[in-house]
Amino acid sequence: MSEKACPVCHIVTSGNACPKCKTTGLSDDFSGIVIIFDPANSAIARAMNIAEKGRYALKVR
């Protein structure tokens, strides 16, 4: 099972479309997965403009 990352909001998913912004042009060329548990208290979440917990890619190409 290959995972892909959304180039818009950086969510990592195994589906064919982003569960958040519905983008279908997901990329399998990404690096640096971060797991956000508590977006309100996460500096990474703030820096990446993430409002929901989940798994995100730092870089999506």
Applying CB under 5 A, the residues found at the interface with Zn ion are 6, 8-9, 18, 20-21, 23
Token pair 């995972």 is found at 3
Least Cβ distance, residue 9 to Zn ion (angstroms): 4
Least Cβ distance, residue 41 to Zn ion (angstroms): 23
Burial class (CB in 10 A: 0-12, 13-18, 19+), 25: exposed
Least Cβ distance, residue 48 to Zn ion (angstroms): 12
CA distance 34 to 58: 7
**Residue 23 or 42: which CB sits closer to Zn ion?**
23
